[in-house]
Structure 1
């Protein structure tokens, strides 16, 4: 173990293990959100570690959101968490804007983070593109708010998809700079947790592109609100190639659509691509797809049905989020207050 790694391990060991992660309520939960995030959140709440999960509605408004749509999408995402098995008695579930300490710590971190760090963020470049001058300041600065989301709870572990790893690395940079600037070991160097067979689910129409709710084609994705018939139809029509499935994952290297479907199967079955191919290797997609349809419908249709039921009672969803926010603030408030003390701000 290197000196740097050893020092990091010693620092992290000073903090109680705690998980934090969040998803933007920007509309349309997909299979990618479920396999890459929500399913893993549910699994982690059973591991004896405190788990805190957030609907990050403040991040959502970095681009324009119609207010009624934002409220509906926030409730729908919360319903997705709950329908997938997240238990609000085991995990803290809330929406970010109900805990003002997120924005307060976010401002402190705006003053710690460097412009050069923000300019290098891949998602800023992708989302702003050639129109950077017209993008909101929030879109540019939101990675420091994301760092605040995590560090406000002294979270030691952050389950994310591969595309979010850079944001957790920035969070570590901000924590390290704050600690170094003020001569403290106050914030942990949070670890990204990237695991599972489908940490990046790809489009059903193009295996080189991430499954996205913004894709014009609804056939490119499985929505978590899709019913059983729709799920089956989309999988049957998913793009493939004419070759049979290989015996090992190495054979999927240049076959993005085949690789994507195998990974989806493995994630839904809670197994590995190797195990899937050990069973399915040599079979044509005409045999594999029906098996995937059965598995996907079995796993996903009940979630869709439960989401629909939950959305019939928005007051109950709001109540769950409110109670979660109260619990979140019990952790967040003393950490923010101590941060202000360290920075030199006077509190009455």
Structure 2
């Protein structure tokens, strides 16, 4: 992979309210990565329609995710910020990869099993093959790294498998077209930092989710200070005080979750938090957590509301990003067509 210039790609689905888990697990890290890498950040709206969407609401949510990108500090000039459906090469490459990936690989995807549930026969074909579209999202930019949470590692492994099989299947053609031994990189995951997997405030064994029926299970990025305070104060805990060391959090998922959230918000470690708050009752610790959360998230929510009031500006950012993304994707897709054996003018 050393022969490939470093490039980061990541995408966020515009489905439901963005929440604290999206921020700490992904979007917050995007800001840090832009200092060291060329980054492409995508609103993956084509993934969103694998399940039914209200068209008007989908448009609003595409703009909301874009607003969140900008509000947290992603620079749309230094980076590329766009929505997937404006770059048709994502779909084109996905079809080629559909013909490279094996059914057995997709059958092992745990997220399809979870999302389709027991009624798999009625799930959309898109939901089944969307890991191949995810692979196309990454590979159409020949991205070398993707920041992912633990729950996305399986999809990235599939991306690597598909890339490797394409490189193997078309090795002779790849060399003949002047691309050496491999056309696609074997994309590496970037997994780092505390609270990469933020859990529900109502059940520490479940991931914080947009789809949870209870709004008290999550902190939405658009929540105001009073709502943030109320949700954290009502968060499920246990009767014991905070331990002084991380080992004392074992078997206490709700306590572990709140401590990890605090640590991620202050860019610290769990050990740092317990050093300062060990022995405290949760009533006191939740107060400190509310103060930190409001100071960090309040400005983001305010900026998101300001940006959402000017959809024309958001659309202009997406249009510019899509134009720049298309230039890269078009070059990749032309090469893929040559490698596969298509005739193009």
**TM-score normalised by the chain length of structure 1:** 0.95
Q: 1:119 aligns with which of 97, 107, 111?
A: 107
Partner of 1:85: 73
The answer to whether the aligner puts 1:176 opposite 2:173 as a matched pair is: no
Q: 1:76 aligns with which of 50, 64, 71?
A: 64
The answer to whether the aligner puts 1:211 opposite 2:208 as a matched pair is: yes
Partner of 1:27: 16
Q: 2:146 aligns with which of 129, 144, 158?
A: 158
The answer to whether the aligner puts 1:284 opposite 2:281 as a matched pair is: yes
Unpaired runs of 5+ residues, structure 1, are 1-11
CA–CA distance in structure 1, aligned partners of residues 284 and 55 of structure 2: 46
Q: Partner of 1:130: helix, strand, or coil?
A: coil
Partner of 1:273: 270
CA–CA distance in structure 1, aligned partners of residues 88 and 145 of structure 2: 22
Q: 1:325 aligns with which of 317, 322, 326?
A: 322
Aligned residues: 336
Q: Partner of 1:13: helix, strand, or coil?
A: coil
The answer to whether the aligner puts 1:130 opposite 2:118 as a matched pair is: yes
Partner of 2:34: 45
Q: Partner of 1:192: helix, strand, or coil?
A: strand
Question: Structure 1 residue 251: deviation in Å?
Answer: 1.1
The answer to whether the aligner puts 1:17 opposite 2:9 as a matched pair is: no
CA–CA distance in structure 2, aligned partners of residues 105 and 250 of structure 1: 47
CA–CA distance in structure 2, aligned partners of residues 278 and 340 of structure 1: 58
Q: CA RMSD in A?
A: 0.7
**Which aligned pairs between 1:252-263 and structure 2 lie closer than 5 A?**
252-263=249-260
Question: Structure 1 residue 27: deviation in Å?
Answer: 1.6
The answer to whether the aligner puts 1:64 opposite 2:52 as a matched pair is: yes
CA-to-partner distance for each residue in 1:274-332, whole Å, 9 max, x for gaps? Answer: 11111111211122111101000000011011111101010110000000001111111
Q: 1:338 aligns with which of 332, 335, 341?
A: 335
CA–CA distance in structure 1, aligned partners of residues 335 and 261 of structure 2: 44
Question: Structure 1 residue 194: deviation in Å?
Answer: 1.2
**TM-score normalised by the chain length of structure 2:** 0.96
CA–CA distance in structure 2, aligned partners of residues 247 and 341 of structure 1: 61
CA–CA distance in structure 2, aligned partners of residues 72 and 284 of structure 1: 41
Contact 2:98-2:129 within 8 A present in 1 as well? yes
CA–CA distance in structure 2, aligned partners of residues 341 and 134 of structure 1: 37
